Structure 1
Amino acid sequence: MSNTFEKIPGFCPDCGSILPPLRNTGGVTCYACSRQFLADINEVFGMSHVKYTIHFNSRQAKEKDIKDDKKRKDEEDDEGPVVERKCPKCGNEKMSYATLQLRSADEGQTVFYTCTKCKFKETENS
């Protein structure tokens, strides 16, 4: 039978219908025209032999990443953007904040403040 259809990977070159998924059975049979593809399966599915190489990180690189993450967390101990606001507990002039919409949409949001020094937390409904 002559190929009347353009060769597109995953489609039967004879009838143009989509081929079933490739299984470990060694071949594929077209549902529409019942043509079997055994030897030329790589050509029909547009596959060629591909070789992959996977490079894994060394243990030392992983340990260094863990140390760097811990150091970065220690440096970024704030819980959000910092504003000039006096802490009522320790008197520190800087507090970080986060906002959430806890009440209905037509009401203001709730602002959560955290002292950058003593970690005292307070809320404000705006």
Structure 2
Amino acid sequence: MTDSFQKVAGFCSDCGSILPPLRGTGDVTCYSCSRVFAPEMLIDSNSKVHYTIHFNDRSTKGKQADKTGEDEEEGPIVERKCPKCGNEKMSYATLQLRSADEGQTVFYTCTKCKFKESENS
């Protein structure tokens, strides 16, 4: 059988449908036309793909202690003046506490004195 479509890794060369993910063992069967492909047929020898997956450490949540024993910030840092100590940097976190058609609530924490405040956006 001749291929109707140009050979592109991840797509069926008969019907053009996207193929299911390549597993560790076994052949791959097209969902649409049921053609069976050997794993070697699906790999494009001209390009190599490398994946790196980084997972969060489950043992630490929220604050983390750095090597000096000091606490790290609780989130992304923004330039916002702390009303208590005047520090120019605060970390923030957001939550949707009100109804869906209203803005989210932003919680700010001073990176110096740990003063906390919230703002409805």
Report the TM-score, using the length of structure 2 for normalisation: 0.44
Which structure has the bigger radius of gyration?
1
Report the TM-score, using the length of structure 1 for normalisation: 0.42
Q: Which has the higher helix share?
A: 1
